[in-house]
Amino acid sequence: MPESLEIILIIGAILILISVMISKVSERLGIPLLLLFLLLGMVAGSEGLGGIYFDDPLVAQWVCTVALSVILFSGGIDTEWKRIKPLFKEGLLLATLGVFLTAAVVALFSRFILQLNWHVSLLIGAIASSTDAAAVFALLRSKGIRLKGNLAPLLELESGSNDPMAIFLTIGILQWLQNKIDQPIEMILLFIMQMGIGLIVGWLISRLSLFLINRLKLGYEGLYPVLIFALVFLTFGLASLLGGSGYLAAYVLGLLLGKEDFLHKRSLVRFFDGNAWLMQIALFITLGLLVFPSEIKPVILPGLLVSFVLIFLARPIAVFLTLIPFRYTLREKTFISWVGLRGAVPVVLGTFPLVAGISDASAIFNLVFFIVITSVLLQGTLLPVVARWLKVDAPLPVNSQAPIEVVSGQGLKADLREILITPSSPAVNKAIYQLKLPEEYLIIMVLRDGEYIQPTGSLELKKGDILFSLSEEPVYLQAQNIINGFSTNA
């Protein structure tokens, strides 16, 4: 047993090390990291070079459930509330109605064109209906591209909140197939219960979390991540036990914590970002191990057809119909349609029919797996090209890193913020005291040519300088307007 345990630990460590190293391949070649992780799992499997035999969908589902709860929480807490708040209506419509329309179109195509059984068609539509924006933003960052306007926060909100809808549809259809649901009204009640309980539990635990984090005053900073981990799993488990969506509850917990200031917030966000990557590696490798490449061959043709319908018909129909009430240009809607990459959740949901013992479950899992691979390869690879072609891209800003960190605490509203002195700014070659900035705007350092300068009022600013200040947002915006507005007043 000790030798077996050691071997398991060594194999696990090697797989994680390889996963970390192949992230450089993704950055340089623009290959979606999700795809590389899945392929690594397949290579390590029984039909690959690793020879690891794994064929337990229940264990895979447990691993993926734990991983997804942490990933969704991390995505929520890392979301900027101010960016997504104005986009709540369209984001939630895309995450609910958009997912439903996508699932419906795919299901109808599978039933009437591919002549698949109704239960297979409905499950394929539901399982493949959610999107994964994490892969999108990773690709854009690797290509040095950011999105104009509200596209990035809208996609971030949609992808973070559309997984519970896909999970609900999958579970609802499975319960219908198992004769646990007889009437359509029961499906509606199930939806209300899952979403309602998920929202309530997420909100309640977020209030409890803020109280505990700010009031306990733990003597060891390292205990705060442990506390948050416990609260995340408590949220997921409690919501699921009560019949709600644990995934939605975990995302809401992260989202609501992310909009508040609390002790050690920045270090906790970084900690969970690293853990989210570890969970993604574990999730994708587990799913890759569960796939037997020899079983993929029979589903290649139907998989390609469903993928093309999903990419070029179902997703565009869902996006264009859902966004009718909102002011988005044709280019923006087209790009949002293209960004509907399938990710980890569809493959995870593909294990649900396997665990439930539904007929044709293996074929459904393999078909969904192939759809995800096709989506990531086609949409992911061409994503930067499409962004430039539709002219919705903008260059990434210069990423400056301050050598200090401001730790949030109760009552502290100020934050570390920065302003770039552009060549056209009239602040160039002027002393700080001449700018007549607000008294509350405290410049604590200036970054110039890679070196940090402790400023005085007489320091003359140069083009390319970056001012770091400790200030509240209204004061920061006022100072920014003064600096950028000199050109109109000079």
| 209 and 163 belong to one structural domain | yes
The answer as to whether 403 is a domain residue is no
| 464 and 375 belong to one structural domain | no
Return the CATH number at 466.
3.30.70.1450
pTM of the model: 0.82
| 179 and 297 belong to one structural domain | yes
Task: Let me know: does 339 contact 390? Beta carbons within 8 Å.
Answer: no
* 4-13, 37-46, 123-132, 206-215: segment of lowest average pLDDT: 4-13
What's the number of domains the chain is made of?
A: 2
The predicted-structure confidence for 336-355, as pLDDT tens digits, reads as follows 999 888 888 899 999 999 99
Question: What pLDDT does 89 receive?
Answer: 93
| Listed residue (428, 422, 426, 429) closest to 486, CA to CA | 426
**In this structure, is the dihedral angle defined by the CA atoms of residues 94, 98, 103 and 109, taken in order, positive or negative?**
negative
Question: What pLDDT does 337 receive?
Answer: 95
Return the CATH number at 192.
1.20.1530.20
Exposed/middle/buried for 413, CB within 10 Å: 0-12, 13-18, 19+? Answer: exposed
| 367 and 264 belong to one structural domain | yes
The predicted-structure confidence for 74-121, as pLDDT tens digits, reads as follows 989 988 888 888 999 999 999 999 999 999 999 999 999 999 999 999
Question: d(Cα 418, Cα 399) in Å, to the nearest integer?
Answer: 11
Per-residue b/e over 39-69, b at no fewer than 16 CB within 10 Å? bbbbbbbeebebebebebbeebbebbbbbbb
Final residue in a domain of this structure, among 334, 361, 395: 395
Average of pLDDT values for 124-140? 78
Average of pLDDT values for 260-270? 85
Q: Which residue has the higher pLDDT, 451 or 127?
A: 127
| 147 and 214 belong to one structural domain | yes
Amino acid at 397: P
Return all residues near 402 (Cβ < 8 A) that are at least 6 apart: 416, 418, 445, 447, 468
Q: Which residue has the higher pLDDT, 146 or 429?
A: 429
Question: What pLDDT does 486 receive?
Answer: 44
**Confidence category of residue 418, pLDDT binned at 50, 70, 90:** confident
pLDDT at 400 over 60: no
Residues counted in the chain: 490
Amino acid at 179: N
Ranges of beta strands (E only) in 264-404 are 393-395
The answer as to whether 340 is a domain residue is yes
With a pLDDT cut of 70, the percent of the chain lying above it is: 91
| Listed residue (105, 124, 119, 55) closest to 364, CA to CA | 124
pLDDT at 490 over 50: no
Task: Let me know: does 36 contact 380? Beta carbons within 8 Å.
Answer: no
Question: What pLDDT does 1 receive?
Answer: 39
Which CA distances in Å does 19 have to 14, 61, 341?
8, 21, 21
Q: How many CB atoms lie within 10 A of CB 194?
A: 26
| 161 and 255 belong to one structural domain | yes
| 317 and 460 belong to one structural domain | no
Return all residues near 438 (Cβ < 8 A) that are at least 6 apart: 475, 478, 479, 482
Q: Residues 149, 153, 158, CA angle at the centre, nearest 5°? A: 130
Task: Let me know: does 99 contact 125? Beta carbons within 8 Å.
Answer: no
Phi first, then psi: give them for residue 89, nearest 5 degrees: -65, -55
* 301-310, 418-427, 445-454: segment of lowest average pLDDT: 418-427
The predicted-structure confidence for 16-52, as pLDDT tens digits, reads as follows 999 999 888 776 766 777 888 888 999 999 898 888 8
The answer as to whether 406 is a domain residue is no
| 43 and 167 belong to one structural domain | yes
Question: What pLDDT does 470 receive?
Answer: 81
What single-letter DSSP state applies at residue 402? -
3-class secondary-structure state, position 150: coil
Per-residue b/e over 366-395, b at no fewer than 16 CB within 10 Å? bbbbbbbbbbbebbbeebbebbeebebbee
The answer as to whether 405 is a domain residue is no
Beta-bridge partners for 416? 470
Residue with tokens 């104009």: 148
Question: What pLDDT does 262 receive?
Answer: 85
| 390 and 435 belong to one structural domain | no
| 6 and 61 belong to one structural domain | yes
Residue with tokens 């914590």: 257
pLDDT at 414 over 80: no
What single-letter DSSP state applies at residue 45? B
| 304 and 260 belong to one structural domain | yes
Question: d(Cα 288, Cα 284) in Å, to the nearest integer?
Answer: 6
Q: Residues 275, 286, 194, CA angle at the centre, nearest 5°? A: 70
The answer as to whether 400 is a domain residue is no
The answer as to whether 134 is a domain residue is yes
With a pLDDT cut of 90, the percent of the chain lying above it is: 49
Question: d(Cα 25, Cα 481) in Å, to the nearest integer?
Answer: 41
The answer as to whether 404 is a domain residue is no
Average of pLDDT values for 144-156? 80
Task: Let me know: does 106 contact 306? Beta carbons within 8 Å.
Answer: yes
pLDDT at 415 over 80: no
The predicted-structure confidence for 188-222, as pLDDT tens digits, reads as follows 899 999 999 999 999 999 999 999 998 888 888 88
Question: d(Cα 394, Cα 144) in Å, to the nearest integer?
Answer: 9
For all residues of the chain together, what is the average pLDDT?
A: 87
Final residue in a domain of this structure, among 395, 426, 445: 395
Return all residues near 328 (Cβ < 8 A) that are at least 6 apart: 90, 336
| 431 and 380 belong to one structural domain | no
Domain that holds residue 294: 2-395
The answer as to whether 229 is a domain residue is yes
Residue with tokens 């299901």: 107
